[in-house]
């Protein structure tokens, strides 16, 4: 199996966070709300009422927090390692490598989100979550540019642009929610997922496109010529 396929599979493997969160949510003694509770609530290590006196006050008790925080670390690792394996897989090689560097950094920040649960390290958690979003957005912008040039890569470019717009818009609304703005009526948890889960879904979708492209190619490629199939299709 080529590095291209391994990188694609690792990006797809980032979807492991979905079943992890479903299992953790089912373990809550009180119902976890996918629209009202935040993603980070699933990783909170203690049972208590948080954000007391604010419009986002809520009771959190997540017995399976280790599973969720561990899944964040795994997701970050798949994005990091996958980006390194896909280092040279893009039509515009130099821009693609810079994009992979930013996405790899984003993977590191996702791992740190799991290392620093929101209740025990609130400032660090928020900082690395924001850093993850920003670095991944930059990487996505660069990847959209690096993927221009042929039909197979144009699918990735279009998918990246749409996902980027959705994620950034979700983040803007999420900031409004945190400030108690009118977007709160849409559900703070739902808006946060639009902002951040879109990034995980995007990397998995790109992984599927890359895997399909590499599967269609009958001639294998070596590490020094990684991604020839994508660049030549």
Evaluate whether residue 179 is within a structural domain: yes
Is 28 domain-assigned? yes
**pLDDT tens digit sequence for 147-182:** 876 666 778 889 999 999 999 999 999 999 888 888
Q: What is the pLDDT of residues 80-119, one digit of tens each?
A: 999 999 998 888 889 999 999 999 999 999 999 999 999 9
Helices vs strands, H then E, count in the chain: 8, 2
Number of domains within the chain: 1
Distance CA 58, CA 101 (A): 38
In this prediction, what percent of the chain has a pLDDT beyond 90? Answer: 70
**Alpha-carbon span 43 to 60, nearest angstrom:** 10
Is 229 a member of any domain?
A: no
Express each pLDDT in 13-25 by its tens digit: 999 999 999 999 9
91 occurs within a structural domain: yes
- Whether residue 225 is contained in a domain is answered as no
Please give the model's pTM, rounded to 2 decimal places.
Answer: 0.88
Say if 198 falls within a structural domain. yes
Let me know if residue 48 belongs to a domain: yes
Nearest residue to 39 (alpha-carbon basis) of 174, 135, 186: 174
User: Does residue 227 fall inside a structural domain?
Assistant: no
Write down the pLDDT at residue 220: 42
Tokens standing for residue 229 = 């199939």
Q: What is the pLDDT of residue 232?
A: 53
User: Do the beta carbons of residue 12 and residue 211 sit within 8 Å?
Assistant: yes
CB atoms within 10 A of CB 108: 16
Enclosing domain of residue 23: 3-218
Nearest Cα to Cα of residue 102 among 139, 62, 65: 139
**Structure confidence at residue 224 (pLDDT):** 37
């Amino acid at each position: 199996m080529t590095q291209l396929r391994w990188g694609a599979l690792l990006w797809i493997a980032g979807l492991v966070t979905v079943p992890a969160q479903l299992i953790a949510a089912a373990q809550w003694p009180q119902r976890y709300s996918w629209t009202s509770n935040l993603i980070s609530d699933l990783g909170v290590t203690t049972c208590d009422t948080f954000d007391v006196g604010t419009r986002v006050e809520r009771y959190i008790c997540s017995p399976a927090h280790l599973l969720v925080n561990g899944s964040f670390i795994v997701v970050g690792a798949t994005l990091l390692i996958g980006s390194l394996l896909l280092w040279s897989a893009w039509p515009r090689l130099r821009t693609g490598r810079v994009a992979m560097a930013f996405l790899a950094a984003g993977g590191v920040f996702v791992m740190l989100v799991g290392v620093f649960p929101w209740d025990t390290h609130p400032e660090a958690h928020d900082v690395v979550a924001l850093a993850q979003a920003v670095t991944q957005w930059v990487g996505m912008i660069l990847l959209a540019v690096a993927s221009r040039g042929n039909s197979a890569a144009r699918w990735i470019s279009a998918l990246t642009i749409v996902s980027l717009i959705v994620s950034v818009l979700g983040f803007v609304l999420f900031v409004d929610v945190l400030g108690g703005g009118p977007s709160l009526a849409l559900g703070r948890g739902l808006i946060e997922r639009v902002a951040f889960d879109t990034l995980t879904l995007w990397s998995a979708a790109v992984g599927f496109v890359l895997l399909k492209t590499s599967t269609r190619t009958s001639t294998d490629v070596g590490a020094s010529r990684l991604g020839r199939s994508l660049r030549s299709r």
